[in-house]
Amino acid sequence: MRPGELEELRALVAEGCRVLAARQLAPGILGHISFRIDESRMLIRCRGPQERGLLRTTAEDIRLVDMTGAPGAVGALDGGYTVPYELPLHSRILMRRPDVTSVVHAHPHNVVAADLAGLPILPIVGAYDIPGAVLAHGGVPVFPRAALIHNPALGDDVADSLGDRPVVLMRGHGLTSTGASVQEAVLRAISVDVIASLSLSIVSAGGTLVPIGAEDLADLPNLGAGLNLGAAWRHEVSRLD
């Protein structure tokens, strides 16, 4: 790792937390993001003695720990910081999914409500949100328990439900999304929340959720990471101002 890179990554994870909060996916003090550093260590949002919620997350709140929650560097948990209770949610997914670099756990109100109402995440939109449509078409599984994921066994259960998909809903709890970067994991969570919100509005208006047709789905272009990740992330960060 080059000099300064760890501090840049801490800042990025903190930025991701603020984006989640600004989007109302992680209101209050609940929710966290992790980032794999290597096979045994991750950066993760920790809670300090002056906790103010995700919207106020700074790089200082992002600490380097090993996959068990112990400090991953000398002084990593100095200052009264503690790892999240749900650290096993992150560690078990990261250990079982080598393709995943970042894990997001959030509590979006509309995602919880839509799932409890029995509304699945379907590809009901097309060009409105192309990455979201593609994600939904592949299926969004549901972890059926409303438990706090506080031990490795529960972490494995969530990882089992997630399988090889990028996002899993957590009944009565929220969602967990993954990605090859913090940006990708956060933006996937936002897409699922948008579809859940639209689904609730459609059903409330007396409509029925109907996936877009196969022809339209096949015709959706891949606009590339420059737009889907680069420009989309710059937009989310600009909203923080």
Any catalytic annotation for residue 39? no
Domains assigned to the chain: 5-239 (3.40.225.10)
Task: Choose, from 8, 15, 51, 86, the residue flagged as catalytic.
Answer: 86
Amino acid identity, residue 175?
A: L
Residue 3 pLDDT: 79
pLDDT attached to residue 158: 98
Residues 71-117: tens digit of each pLDDT: 999 899 999 999 999 999 999 999 999 999 999 999 999 999 999 99
Within 13 Å of residue 22, how many CA atoms lie on the same side as its CB? Answer: 18
Q: What angle do CA 217, 221, 226 make, to 5 degrees?
A: 135
Name the pLDDT band for 226 (thresholds 50, 70, 90).
very high
Q: What is the pLDDT of residues 154-208, one digit of tens each?
A: 999 999 999 999 999 999 999 999 999 999 999 999 999 999 999 999 999 999 9
Work out the angle at residue 188's Cα, subtended by the Cα atoms of residues 151 and 66, and round it to the nearest 5 degrees: 35
Cα dihedral across residues 196, 241, 61, 30: positive or negative? negative
C-alpha distance from residue 162 to each of 103, 140, 177, 208 (Å):
12, 8, 9, 27
**Residue 108 DSSP symbol:** -
Please tell me what DSSP assigns to residue 105: E
pLDDT at 136: 98
Q: Please, which residues bridge with residue 62 across strands?
A: 45
Per residue in 1-41, pLDDT tens?
777 999 999 999 999 999 999 999 998 899 999 999 999 99
Alpha carbon distance, N-terminus to C-terminus of the chain:
31
Q: Mean pLDDT for the chain?
A: 97
Under 8 Å CB-to-CB from 22, ≥6 apart: which residues? Answer: 55, 236, 239, 240
